[in-house]
Amino acid sequence: MTRNSRRQFLKTTSGLIGAGYFATAGTRVALSRSALEQINVACIGIGGKGDSDSSNAATFGKVLAICDVDRERLAKKGESDRFKDAERFTDYRELFAKYGKNVEIVNVSTPDHMHGPVTLEAMRLGISCYTQKPLTRTIYEARLLATVAKETGVCTQMGNQGTALDSSREAIAQIRSGVLGTLKEVYAWSNRPVWAQGPNRRMTLEKFSAQAKEASPSKADKLIESKKAEIAKALEQLDWESWIGVAPYREFFPGLYHSFQHRGWWDFGTGALGDMACHQLTVPFASCGLRDPISVQAKTTGHDFDSFPASSIIKFEFPATAERPAIPFYWYDRKGNKPPAEIFSKWGIDKVSDSGVLIVGEKGAFYSADDYCGVYELRGVKKVDVDYEKAENKGNNDLNNMYELFRAKSAGDPKICHSNFIDRAGPLTETILLGNLAVWAAAQGGKDGEMGEWGEKVEWDAKNLKVTNLASLKTPKVADLIKPTYRAGYRLD
């Protein structure tokens, strides 16, 4: 059945029942296993979070192809149940060239810098997308993904799985009800990064050789040959050109980039902010209207414009809306780097979690000691009766979030997805990634790795994606972080 005929077929109740569907509470639609298995899937990025994402996608659909730059991963995944018949690729463009007309859903779980290009190509082929957070590496890509999703009408979902928790949905409804009174400020703090970040981290074979010769001249040749052999062996399993993808080329070096270390590099990742804020801000973003900030400012432990700093504090300013006055949002990253204790003690919070969220209102406060706002409590006020749409429970929030996309695809209704690119994921990602412009403009850290002073404030025109005080900023290339330049062979616009 083609995409169009499937969508038309599912518009009537009789069609839904005939396709193996059954009605559930409210207006939601649940799908039988036989109906789901008709949806053809491709999985791009099957390591790390991509391992569970691809398995979740395979739970609800038929996997035609899998793609990963790591050939060893491909082989291992390809031998597992539900993937034995899937063709294997290391370049997603080759996968789309062969299967683009047949794939209906793709899950994208690559390093951050490849989220945008892979997802864009998929949507332009009419393929619905489940893309891991952060949705993109840059602000412009987030805006573009939302635009293309609207133009193509495909179903979309970002992998911030806390969106599919009933607790987070209830929390959003509680705060929207006005139970906290007039909103005053929002805080989020994270124990990330748990990967390497900090200045002067880049290593090349040439640099390694020079250091070896200086440190141990008699052993240098042996050390260098050993490192060359290590690199050659790694590249037998790794499609490095495809890993680099749209980013400026640099040579591979063991342990620096693949695997898992990409997020600490400006060219490939989004730092701790990009990693966790898409989770932690799900509730504040939706309940407090954290869209279109007008400025950001940061202080950091210092960076070299190549690797993110080890730690940062960022202040976002949001203008007044019809629902609330102007409010600030503060972000803290690195374990132990948290808002001042007095902010918590006012609300009787003495033992502050390593990661969490605090929303302060005139009457009370919302506190979550969980990355996904999976558990929360109200301080100073009591919960009120609220209505919210509960998720279809398929076992856990990861499965629930993935299932929502399959349900949307089968019903032909992108709005079923709570974290769709147009209404939630795109604007949320835009808000979050603006903070990295402030981090870039706060490269000067303090002594001995301590936090430095506040860097330059970046003033922002969200509608037009422009830094309005760019001419007065002394930090170079701030605007270059807004829109990427893809290498030849990849399409942005």
Query: Does some domain include residue 489?
Result: no
If asked whether residues 68 and 215 sit together in one domain, one would say: no
Domain that holds residue 30: 3-164+394-424
If asked whether residues 210 and 311 sit together in one domain, one would say: no
Query: Does some domain include residue 124?
Result: yes
pLDDT, tens digit (0-9, with 9 covering 90-100), for 171-219: 999 999 999 999 999 999 999 999 999 999 999 999 999 999 999 999 9
Indicate which CATH number applies to the domain containing 304.
3.30.360
If asked whether residues 173 and 316 sit together in one domain, one would say: yes
If asked whether residues 289 and 177 sit together in one domain, one would say: yes
If asked whether residues 403 and 447 sit together in one domain, one would say: no
Query: Does some domain include residue 152?
Result: yes
For the chain, residues with pLDDT lower than 50 are 1-28
Query: Does some domain include residue 134?
Result: yes
Phi then psi for residue 44, to 5 deg, are -120, 110
Strand ranges, E, within 253-406:
295-300, 312-318, 327-333, 356-361, 365-368, 377-379
Query: Does some domain include residue 486?
Result: no
pTM of the model: 0.92
- CB atoms near residue 215 (< 10 Å): 10
Indicate which CATH number applies to the domain containing 157.
3.40.50.720
If asked whether residues 117 and 231 sit together in one domain, one would say: no
If asked whether residues 109 and 14 sit together in one domain, one would say: yes
Phi then psi for residue 242, to 5 deg, are -70, -30
| Exposure string for 60-78, b = 16+ CB within 10 A, e = fewer | bbbbbbbbbbbeebbeebb
Closest listed residue to residue 168, CA positions, set 25, 433, 357: 357
If asked whether residues 160 and 24 sit together in one domain, one would say: yes
Peptide bond into 32 cis (omega under 30): no
Phi then psi for residue 111, to 5 deg, are -55, 155
If asked whether residues 143 and 180 sit together in one domain, one would say: no
If asked whether residues 477 and 333 sit together in one domain, one would say: yes
Query: Does some domain include residue 59?
Result: yes
Q: What is the pLDDT of residue 25?
A: 34
Name the domain count of the chain: 3
Query: Does some domain include residue 491?
Result: no
If asked whether residues 176 and 119 sit together in one domain, one would say: no
If asked whether residues 339 and 407 sit together in one domain, one would say: no
Query: Does some domain include residue 260?
Result: no
Contact, 441 vs 475, CB < 8 A? yes
Contact, 455 vs 438, CB < 8 A? yes
Q: What is the pLDDT of residue 38?
A: 86
The whole-chain average pLDDT of the chain stands at 93
pLDDT, tens digit (0-9, with 9 covering 90-100), for 38-92: 899 999 999 999 999 999 999 999 999 999 999 999 999 999 999 999 999 999 9
Rounded distance, CA 255 to CA 264, Å?
A: 12
Rounded distance, CA 323 to CA 173, Å?
A: 14
Contact, 269 vs 263, CB < 8 A? yes
Q: What is the pLDDT of residue 30?
A: 56
